[in-house]
């Protein structure tokens, strides 16, 4: 089985790197396609040794069984038109934000097999969260192939496409919300005398460790919160401020507004 990756930006490169490190495809079975490789000074990273690089999308798709579309939504129409006559029977995996399966089918043809994926930026360090939405023609084997690819850069979940906007607001936009939390906690540490370096390190590790507690223990966040909250202690004093300032409601509203914006962008296609 051969894989073509179209688009080697940050996300495409991260996914390709994860694929190579996990050994999902042999290097000689991968064709990486990006117009930037028309410049001879653009040299691939050492981790991609033996992977074939080309600036010709058509040549990559022609040989491939699986095609990863890792291009921006603004240019995907051009890419799809370029390769549409080569799409029959191939598995296409698209990470173009907001681009629906129906649109991809319209451009590639109804016999193209399509899985739409919403990854997030922590995939750049193999800690991503990706939601996969297969079209009705996808076999369990094809879905397994897609899950293997994205499991190489994080965790995966399979959802119906109608929930893709919810995923966009939650895990797609979510990292930005967490970065604000880390920054604010760090600022509070600096306000109370810690150096910026120490405050940022402690804040980031606290968020990371807390997330790992949820994932590894399987306990509800409320239960884990109660483990830290002693009667009349420091934690409940801080929590009372968060509740007073509607912290919980603000997070819900932020995610919900991001979901709404994703819906707005999708309906304007």
| Domain CATH code at residue 138 | 3.40.50.720
Mapped onto helix, strand or coil, the DSSP state of residue 127 is coil
Query: Are 76 and 17 a contacting pair, CB within 8 Å?
Result: no
Q: Is residue 167 part of a domain?
A: no
Mean pLDDT of the chain: 93
User: Measured between alpha carbons, how far is 80 from 265 in angstroms, rounded to an integer?
Assistant: 20
Q: Is residue 197 part of a domain?
A: yes
* 149 and 189, same domain (yes or no): no
Residue 231, pLDDT score? 97
User: Measured between alpha carbons, how far is 4 from 91 in angstroms, rounded to an integer?
Assistant: 10
Phi (first) and psi of residue 53, to 5 degrees: -110, 140
The residue-averaged pLDDT of 224-240 equals 97
Number of domains in the chain: 2
User: Measured between alpha carbons, how far is 267 from 269 in angstroms, rounded to an integer?
Assistant: 6
Lowest mean pLDDT segment, chosen from 23-37, 166-180, 195-209: 23-37
Q: Is residue 223 part of a domain?
A: yes
* 9 and 32, same domain (yes or no): yes
Q: Is residue 166 part of a domain?
A: no
Phi (first) and psi of residue 63, to 5 degrees: -85, -20
* 220 and 251, same domain (yes or no): yes
* 12 and 137, same domain (yes or no): yes
Residue 45, pLDDT score? 65
- Is the pLDDT confidence value at 15 over 70? yes
* 86 and 196, same domain (yes or no): no
* 135 and 196, same domain (yes or no): no
Tell me what percent of the residues of the chain surpass a pLDDT of 70: 95
The residue-averaged pLDDT of 179-195 equals 99
Residue 178, pLDDT score? 98
Residue 142, pLDDT score? 97
* 153 and 228, same domain (yes or no): no
Q: Is the pTM of this model over 0.85?
A: yes
pLDDT digits (tens, 9 = 90+) for 113-150: 999 999 999 999 999 999 999 999 999 999 999 999 99
Query: Of 57, 58, 258, which is closest to residue 167 (Cα–Cα)?
Result: 258
The residue-averaged pLDDT of 80-89 equals 94
Pick the more confident residue, 35 or 188: 188
Mapped onto helix, strand or coil, the DSSP state of residue 194 is coil
Residue 1, pLDDT score? 92
* 133 and 249, same domain (yes or no): no
* 140 and 252, same domain (yes or no): no
Q: Around 115, how many Cα atoms within 13 Å sit in the side-chain half-sphere?
A: 27
Residue 266, pLDDT score? 75
User: Measured between alpha carbons, how far is 113 from 124 in angstroms, rounded to an integer?
Assistant: 26
* 74 and 139, same domain (yes or no): yes
* 17 and 128, same domain (yes or no): yes
Lowest mean pLDDT segment, chosen from 47-51, 89-93, 100-104, 244-248: 47-51
Q: Is residue 134 part of a domain?
A: yes
Residue 50, pLDDT score? 83
What is the per-residue DSSP string for 2-71?
-EEEE--SHHHHHHHHHHHHHTSS-GGGEEEE-GGGGSTT-PPPGGGTT-EEES-HHHHHHH-SEEEE--
Q: Give the residue numbers spanning the domain of 184.
A: 172-267
* 100 and 180, same domain (yes or no): no
């Amino acid at each position: 089985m051969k894989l073509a990756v179209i688009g080697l930006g940050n996300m495409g490169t991260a996914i390709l790197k994860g694929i190579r490190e996990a050994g999902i495809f042999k290097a000689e079975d991968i064709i990486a396609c990006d117009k930037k490789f028309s410049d001879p000074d653009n040299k691939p990273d050492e981790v991609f040794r033996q992977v074939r690089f080309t600036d010709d999308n058509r040549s990559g798709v022609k040989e491939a069984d699986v095609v990863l579309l890792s291009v921006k939504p603004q240019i995907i129409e051009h890419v799809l038109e370029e390769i549409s006559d080569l799409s029959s029977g191939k598995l296409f995996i698209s990470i173009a934000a907001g681009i629906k399966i129906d649109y991809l089918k319209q451009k590639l043809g109804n016999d193209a097999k399509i899985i739409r994926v919403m990854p997030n930026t922590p995939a750049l360090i193999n800690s991503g969260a990706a939601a996969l939405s297969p079209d009705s023609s996808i076999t369990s084997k094809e879905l397994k192939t897609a899950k293997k690819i994205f499991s190489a850069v994080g965790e995966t979940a399979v959802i119906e496409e109608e929930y893709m906007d919810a995923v966009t607001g939650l895990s797609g936009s979510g990292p930005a919300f967490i970065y604000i939390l880390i920054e604010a906690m760090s600022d509070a540490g600096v306000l109370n005398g810690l150096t910026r370096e120490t405050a940022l390190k402690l804040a980031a590790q606290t968020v990371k460790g807390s997330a790992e507690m949820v994932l590894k223990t399987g306990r509800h966040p409320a239960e884990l919160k109660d483990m830290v909250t002693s009667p009349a202690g420091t934690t409940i004093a801080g929590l009372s401020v968060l509740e007073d300032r509607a912290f919980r409601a603000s997070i819900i509203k932020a995610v919900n507004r991001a979901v709404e914006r994703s819906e707005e962008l999708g309906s304007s296609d």
